[in-house]
Structure 1
Amino acid sequence: MAQQPPLVLDPTGADHHAEQRALRERGPATRVDVLGVEAWSVSDPVLLKKLLTSPDVSKDARAHWPGFEQAVSTWPLALWVAVENMFTAYGPQHRKLRRLVAPAFSSRRIAGMRPAVEEMVNGLVDRLAGLPANGPVDLRQELAYPLPIGVIGHLMGVPENRRDDFRVLVDGVFDTTLSPAEAQDNAVRLYGVLDELIAVKRRAPGDDMTSLLIAARDDESDGSRLTPDELRDTLLLMISAGYETTVNVIDQAVFTLLTHPDQLELVRTGSVGWEDVVEETLRHEPAVKHLPLRFAVTDIPLPDGQTIARGEAILASYAAANRHPGWHDDADTFDAGRTVKDHLAFGHGVHFCLGAPLARLEVALALESLFERFPDIRLAVPADELEPVASLISNGHQRLPVHLHGH
């Protein structure tokens, strides 16, 4: 079988739907170029779920990727493979790190956070109502951004006066147009802010996840203490994963409802609920298009006769898989009333996103409050004028300008 040249993924994400179609047309898995690193993009959901649950696939680049050392010094996405937390852990190490973080996302704790999330949503929507009625409002800036950063700040104990710093630096982690030097500078500054947060919480612990992780880091009694790097990188993971992704889901859900009035009408007539809109948004426009990287622990034969060789990188192409025609009927169509709501927006297997229930809660409450308060809300510009976020990872718009009130 002749080898196809790698498909070069667009770092700006300018036309991700065309890119996803191209990936699916090339088969269940195909070679791609990710900012100069070659990997296997997997877009077939059956194969992807199999790989995501296989012990033959690792997220530990240090142990299982021969290209690790070079990538760390030259690849703009080095942080995605170099961090030491449960995102990049494999086997027993992953289980240890996940066990430390899981209590923050228990169903009891999430239920306990609901009043705080509702209060934040209502405060933001009240603020929107107080803005001048005649001008457009950027909802990404005024709602999609501040809600998740407020929620994760509350959960992690990030002081309000430092949340904007985290926001800007986390945006840089997802920006795939940065040069290696720019990405490295962004990482250095981000770690500086994390170190400051750790120092503050050491001096004055609170009822927050950062304080709990520091206590775990300093407790040697059960042999599971965190190293200093694991502590910093676990905080990085929880703040970045809990923030950037939820911003995009709110953005995409609002955009989709404003461009599909028939779907908004289904909610208003009670045919579907806000939770249905959230699930279909996660399937139709997931917050993360491609997630770097995983690695073959051994040779992995593919259904079409190809082989992912030991040590080769694997890219989970969630957005392409979610719209695979073999998984969903009319997969490119947004249909909040779908009976089959399955998707891979939160991953699959042992690395399934712990924060999924919290993200779902945030988005549903934000949508309900926004559309109840502003029944005449509409886009302020034609839909095709909206620019995507400059990223092959993150899936949102740079701006989401709307008119909140009627003509």
Structure 2
Amino acid sequence: MTTAEPRNYPFSTPERLEVEPMFAELRANQPLSRVRLPYGEPGWLATRYEDVKVVLGDPRFSRAASLEHDEPRMRPQPSLPGSILSMDPPDHSRLRRLVTKAFTVRRIEQLRPRVRQIADELVDGMLAAGPPADLVEAFALPVPVTVICELLGVPYADRGDFRYWSDAFLSTTRFPPEEVADCAGKMHAYLEGLIAQRRAEPRDDLLSGLVAARDNEDRLSEEELVRLAMALLIAGHETTASQIPNFVYTLLTHPDQLAMLRADLSLVPKAVEELMRFVPLGIGAGIARYATEDIELGGVLVRAGEAVLPALASANRDESAFPDADVLDLRREDTSHIGFGHGVHHCLGAPLARMELQVALDTLLRRLPDLRLADGESGVDWKEGLSTRGPERLLVTWEQ
């Protein structure tokens, strides 16, 4: 095993949506470096685009192996067996196939009118209440929460509970470990209750379909069913709820790009892809993969049993992959970012997230063409103590 003294990571405290400045130096001079995260054993940090794609896509890098190690991580809790995020094929493929049909591009496009209706109704509420408004509470959270509740079959009235549990799951320092464990237990019990309801009274929703796959086809265990529902509920709203205000803030602070987009809303899909590349969502790196054999990567020999952390934010700013990578360019032609990951763990809900982000931006720019920050930076409160970045409060205003 490698014995080089690792550096503490993250290298600095993340500020707003700024990308770690050390990444550029590492990409140029030390694309794989030894790091130690707040929890777990040391690992390698991969910073170049091509190396990160190898870590995410090469089957010689395993997620399941993390269960045999104290994996490097930002949060106190380690990965748990039964979670799709801790599986390799064929188990990962078996669970993914159960839900893939709900997230096909065709199926998601059928949901677009409903998402547009949700977004328009929320803007109606903002206009009725008058400016200023907290975009997070008034719009960014309700859009994906409503959609995932309807898709999965979770009561929207319970959003306060599962939002709190989700924050605990994503906590780095905001919640003490014992509260994280308590919230995980409560979410587990809550979903067990919903599953029992769907067994008694099946509905036309994704949770009922998963229950049928468990009971009628024996395609997953009971614990896998609960953990899959948990992953879908958390991931189905959290990332989009963070990225909507992230994208709006980024546009409002890049007025030239915002003006171009306002002048041509047909650019919204391309803008979403560029914003996915440009905006860093996490405060750390991607989840660790373990080498199952000795592998040369970035000029370094990674030994079997060593962890490698893919730095997605660094990869998306790699000049060798994206010319002028630190420049936001909504007309950029290359959309091969890895904001949704890569390989077998490529975000299952990417088509849904893309569509929600497109609808959100289109609706806000169409309905509120003079949207702007209400109080400058003083009207923005940034998340602290969570593994995802974004405003917790984003005050915006417009002309009445």
TM-score by length of 2: 0.91
Q: Partners in 1 of 2:235 and 2:329 — Cα distance?
A: 26
Q: Partners in 2 of 1:11 and 1:214 — Cα distance?
A: 44
Tell me the CA shift for residue 232 of structure 1: 0.8
Q: 1:319 to 1:384 in 2, by over 3 A?
A: farther
Asked if the contact 1:252–1:285 (Cα under 8 Å) also holds between the matched residues in 2, the reply is yes
Query: Within the alignment, does 1:179 sit opposite 2:182 as a pair?
Result: no
Q: Which moved more, 1:345-354 or 1:378-387?
A: 378-387
1:388 pairs, out of 358, 369, 382, with: 382
Q: 1:380 to 1:184 in 2, by over 3 A?
A: same
Asked if the contact 1:13–1:392 (Cα under 8 Å) also holds between the matched residues in 2, the reply is no
1:357-384 Cα deviation digits (max 9, x unpaired):
1111111111111122112211023237
Structure 2 residue runs without a partner (length 5+): none
Asked if the contact 2:60–2:293 (Cα under 8 Å) also holds between the matched residues in 1, the reply is yes
Aligned to 1:78: 77
1:295 pairs, out of 273, 290, 295, with: 290
Tell me the CA shift for residue 393 of structure 1: 3.2
Aligned to 1:260: 254
Q: Partners in 1 of 2:371 and 2:265 — Cα distance?
A: 21
1:42 counterpart letter in structure 2: A
Aligned to 1:206: 203
Q: Partners in 2 of 1:388 and 1:338 — Cα distance?
A: 28
Asked if the contact 2:116–2:363 (Cα under 8 Å) also holds between the matched residues in 1, the reply is no
What are the within-5 Å matches in structure 2 for residues 6-405 of structure 1?
A: 6-9=7-10, 13-14=14-15, 17=18, 20-26=20-26, 27-37=30-40, 38-61=42-65, 65-67=68-70, 76-78=75-77, 81-133=79-131, 136-177=132-173, 178-220=175-217, 225-270=219-264, 273-289=267-283, 290-304=285-299, 306-383=300-377, 386-391=380-385, 393-405=387-399
Asked if the contact 1:11–1:390 (Cα under 8 Å) also holds between the matched residues in 2, the reply is no
Q: Partners in 1 of 2:6 and 2:104 — Cα distance?
A: 45
Q: Partners in 1 of 2:47 and 2:266 — Cα distance?
A: 29
SS of the aligned residue for 1:281 comes to helix
Q: CA RMSD in A?
A: 2.5
1:257-280 Cα deviation digits (max 9, x unpaired):
111121122122228611122111
1:295 counterpart letter in structure 2: Y
2:311 counterpart letter in structure 1: S
Q: Partners in 1 of 2:14 and 2:22 — Cα distance?
A: 14
Asked if the contact 2:381–2:394 (Cα under 8 Å) also holds between the matched residues in 1, the reply is no
2:320 counterpart letter in structure 1: G
1:116-140 Cα deviation digits (max 9, x unpaired):
211111111111111133xx21101
Over 4 Å off, 4+ runs: none
Q: Partners in 1 of 2:191 and 2:391 — Cα distance?
A: 27
Asked if the contact 2:136–2:245 (Cα under 8 Å) also holds between the matched residues in 1, the reply is yes
Structure 1 residue runs without a partner (length 5+): none
1:185-205 Cα deviation digits (max 9, x unpaired):
221122122222212222221
Tell me the CA shift for residue 351 of structure 1: 1.2
2:77 counterpart letter in structure 1: A
TM-score by length of 1: 0.89
Q: 1:15 to 1:115 in 2, by over 3 A?
A: closer
Asked if the contact 2:39–2:75 (Cα under 8 Å) also holds between the matched residues in 1, the reply is no
Q: 1:391 to 1:22 in 2, by over 3 A?
A: farther
Q: Partners in 2 of 1:14 and 1:204 — Cα distance?
A: 48
Q: Which moved more, 1:51-60 or 1:190-199?
A: 190-199
Q: Partners in 2 of 1:376 and 1:15 — Cα distance?
A: 23
Tell me the CA shift for residue 36 of structure 1: 2.4
Q: Partners in 2 of 1:271 and 1:321 — Cα distance?
A: 28
